[in-house]
């Protein structure tokens, strides 16, 4: 027998011998890690939309913010959104800036692809948004209203910006405040005994020179690097000296120096000053004359403000306010017509007007007038079309869409600023009094886990009282101080889940069933560090790796309304 046979027999004998002994199980137990067990409980929940009671909320839509490319590629986010939500809202790709091209045409191929993909999946698309100040093709819109420049072969010129000789009562380009009483001299008392002059009487010495002011208005606003010349004839009943300030509009102070300090006596003199515009003066379009330090009557005549034009004597023709209104209105109508028309087969609800109200003055509309920090994509329709820009937007959306489309007005911080909530409600009433039909109000609710619950309740109560459809349009939640994902504790995640539950639950409790359009989770996932929105913050119901968070359970429990 060869050696390897001996080895094999030995192994067999060992097995037979071992089989003769009784098996005794070892008593060895390892507890499942707590975090693993907790995650199993979260993962055991069904898809979010299955928890909506469709018997009492027949038309309710649970929505999510979405990226067009992620959805149409039909990857993991496509499956997640379809299994958890009824509706998607694109964060950017249905906005003016994404669709309107440099020449004003609209590129809607991507939008159509998304609509077809969503329709095939049985999920609806909410239209976001038609009239907003951000995410606009502002370059195109500003080009529409830019001045016309007519070239010339001549040398540099000083082009007239505004003038006033006070021979008529037309006061379109000047005004004064209460302490500076305006009137006119007799005919023949103007400079050189010709015509008449403007009289500004300051009855007493004021605490500040700017307590009595004359304002010269002009357009467009000055820009850094430009050069202007102010030339005018002046005198006063008593010798006086007065400074000038730069204002964006009369009374809206911008800079303490503008066109120098002026001296006047009872004898007419001609004052000339050339101003080189710097960044401190930029965006101003009013010269303020500070007349409060001398109690006297001032006289002004033959005011001329000119601008240095180095472009070979070219002529710049500014568009009038009416011309700008016509051009901007046509651009808004075309944009609404194009996007609504291509979408009307699938999109049945729209944010027609987005974020109209001002944060600092919550009863008034936002404006870009006087601002120097406008982003490249900011353009305020209301600055050219007036307060009724939203009226036209609602009317055009109705004209070009479906008669049964649901139209919303939408804003943020309504739970933070109750005055802003009331301002939005008042604006809705104004628009409806003018003929708009507004079906619903959206409240964005970009909140934190410690947001004021009493204010949330008050907001829901105020919105419910309008009788309109109410939508939580962009719900997401971070933490006070913009804490990043890596720093969040389990206790904070529990607080986040509790606040998600509170918001959703109170929506169902305070908004009557007939007024519940739905709730949109704006950020299903936590925000990546590279994001432009709440970068690196744990605001979602899933982690960046698509693991469900305690916040997911919070929304479920809120939907169950228990």
277-325 pLDDT tens trace: 999 999 999 999 999 999 999 999 999 999 998 877 777 889 999 999 9
pLDDT attached to residue 314:
73
What is the DSSP code string of 428-485? HHHHHHTT----EEEE--EEETT--HHHHHHHHHHHHTTTSEEEEEEEEEE-TT---G
> Band of the pLDDT at 8, cuts 50, 70, 90?
very low
Residues 6+ apart with CB under 8 A from 200: 176, 180, 181, 182, 212, 214, 291, 297, 298, 299, 300
Residue 398: pLDDT over 50? yes
Q: Do domains 67-143+320-444 and 151-317 have the same CATH topology?
A: no
Residues 6+ apart with CB under 8 A from 102: 137, 139, 140
CATH class held by domain 67-143+320-444? alpha beta
Q: What is the CA radius of gyration of the chain?
A: 34
Tokens representing residue 437 in the block: 């039909």
User: What is the DSSP secondary structure assignment for residue 120, as one 8-state letter?
Assistant: H
Instruction: Return the axis-axis angle of helices 490-510 and 453-464, rounded to nearest 10°.
Output: 20
> 3-state SS string over 255-298?
ECCCCCEEEECCCCEEEEEEEECCCCCCCCCEEEEECCCCCEEE
CA 210 centroid distance within chain:
34
Rounded distance, CA 100 to CA 428, Å? 28
309: left (phi over 0), alpha (psi -120 to 50) or beta: beta
Residues 6+ apart with CB under 8 A from 491: none
Give the number of C-alpha atoms closer than 13 A to the C-alpha of residue 87, restricted to the C-beta side: 26
At 415, is the secondary structure helix, strand, or coil? Answer: coil
Beta strands in 318-416 (DSSP E): 349-354, 406-411
pLDDT attached to residue 561:
80
Bridge partners of 448?
Answer: 478
Residues 6+ apart with CB under 8 A from 87: 61, 62, 63, 64, 123, 124, 125, 126, 518, 520
**CB 463, CB 511: distance < 8 Å:** yes
Mean pLDDT calculated for residue range 326-345? 98
CA 82 centroid distance within chain:
29
Percentage of residues in the chain with pLDDT exceeding 70?
A: 93
Tokens representing residue 369 in the block: 């007038």
Which strand (E) or helix (H) includes residue 131? strand 124-131
At 366, is the secondary structure helix, strand, or coil? Answer: coil
Rounded distance, CA 381 to CA 373, Å? 17
Rounded distance, CA 437 to CA 327, Å? 25
Percentage of residues in the chain with pLDDT exceeding 90?
A: 88
Instruction: Name the average pLDDT for the chain.
Output: 93
**CB 86, CB 124: distance < 8 Å:** yes
pLDDT attached to residue 115:
97
Mean pLDDT calculated for residue range 388-411? 98
Angle (CA) 291-208-169 rounded to 5° is 30
Mean pLDDT calculated for residue range 323-339? 98
User: What is the DSSP secondary structure assignment for residue 539, as one 8-state letter?
Assistant: -
11: left (phi over 0), alpha (psi -120 to 50) or beta: alpha
Rounded distance, CA 356 to CA 411, Å? 7
pTM across the whole model: 0.71
**Residues in the chain, overall count:** 562
pLDDT attached to residue 11:
37
pLDDT attached to residue 57:
95
Q: Where are the domains of the chain?
A: 67-143+320-444, 151-317
CATH architecture of 151-317: Sandwich (2.60)
pLDDT attached to residue 12:
38
pLDDT in tens, 512-554: 999 999 999 999 999 999 999 999 999 999 999 999 999 999 9
**CB 325, CB 228: distance < 8 Å:** no
Mean pLDDT calculated for residue range 497-525? 98
pLDDT in tens, 97-132: 999 999 999 999 999 999 999 999 999 999 999 999
pLDDT in tens, 214-238: 999 999 999 999 999 999 999 999 9
pLDDT attached to residue 26:
55
Rounded distance, CA 380 to CA 364, Å? 14
């Amino acid at each position: 027998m060869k050696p390897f046979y001996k080895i094999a027999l030995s192994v067999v004998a060992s097995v037979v011998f071992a089989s003769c002994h009784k098996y005794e199980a070892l008593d060895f137990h390892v507890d499942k890690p707590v975090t693993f067990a907790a995650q199993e409980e979260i993962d055991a929940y069904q898809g979010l939309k299955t928890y909506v009671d469709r018997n009492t909320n027949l038309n309710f839509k649970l929505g999510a913010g979405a990226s067009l490319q992620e959805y149409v590629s039909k990857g993991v986010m496509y499956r997640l959104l379809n299994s958890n939500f009824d509706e998607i809202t694109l964060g950017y790709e249905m906005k003016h800036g994404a669709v309107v091209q440099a020449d004003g045409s609209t590129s809607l191929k991507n939008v159509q692809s998304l609509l077809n993909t969503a329709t095939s999946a049985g999920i609806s698309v909410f239209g976001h948004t038609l009239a907003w100040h951000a995410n606009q093709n502002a370059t195109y819109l500003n080009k529409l209203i830019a001045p016309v420049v007519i070239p010339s072969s001549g040398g540099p010129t000083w082009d007239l910006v505004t003038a006033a000789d006070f021979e008529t009562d037309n006061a379109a380009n000047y005004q004064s405040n209460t302490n500076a009483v305006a009137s006119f001299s007799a005919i023949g008392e103007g400079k050189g005994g010709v015509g008449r002059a403007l009289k500004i009487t300051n009855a007493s010495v004021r605490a500040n020179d700017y307590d009595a002011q004359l304002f010269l208005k002009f357009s467009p606003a000055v820009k850094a690097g430009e050069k202007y010349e102010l030339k005018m004839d002046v005198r006063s009943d008593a010798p006086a000296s007065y400074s000038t300030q730069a204002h964006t509009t009369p009374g809206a102070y911008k800079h303490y120096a503008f066109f120098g300090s002026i001296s006047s006596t009872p004898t007419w003199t001609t004052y000339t000053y050339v101003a080189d515009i710097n960044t401190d003066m930029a965006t101003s379009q009013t010269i303020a004359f500070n007349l409060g330090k001398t109690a006297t009557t001032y006289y002004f005549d033959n005011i001329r403000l000119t601008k240095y034009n180095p472009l070979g004597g070219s002529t710049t023709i500014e568009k009038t306010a009416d011309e700008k209104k016509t051009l901007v209105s046509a651009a808004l109508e075309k944009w609404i017509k194009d996007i609504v028309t291509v979408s009307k087969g699938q999109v049945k609800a729209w944010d027609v007007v987005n974020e109209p109200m001002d944060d600092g003055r919550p009863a008034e509309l936002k404006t870009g007038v006087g601002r120097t920090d406008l982003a490249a994509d900011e353009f305020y329709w209301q600055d050219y079309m007036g307060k009724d820009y939203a009226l036209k937007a609602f009317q055009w959306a109705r004209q070009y869409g479906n008669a049964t489309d649901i139209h919303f007005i939408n804003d943020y911080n309504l739970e933070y600023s109750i005055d802003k909530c009331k301002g939005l409600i008042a604006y809705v009433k104004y628009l409806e009094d003018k003929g708009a039909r507004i079906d619903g109000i959206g409240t964005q609710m970009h909140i934190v886990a410690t947001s004021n619950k009493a204010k949330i309740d008050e907001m829901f109560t105020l919105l419910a009282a309008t009788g309109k459809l109410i939508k939580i349009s962009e719900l997401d939640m971070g933490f006070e101080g913009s804490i990043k994902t890596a720093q969040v504790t389990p206790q904070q995640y529990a607080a986040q889940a509790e606040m998600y539950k509170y918001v959703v639950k109170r929506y169902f409790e305070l908004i009557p069933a007939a007024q519940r359009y739905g709730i949109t989770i704006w950020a299903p996932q936590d925000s990546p560090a590279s994001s432009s929105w709440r970068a690196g913050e744990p605001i979602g119901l899933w982690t960046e790796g698509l693991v469900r968070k305690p916040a997911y359970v919070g929304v479920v429990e809120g939907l169950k309304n228990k």
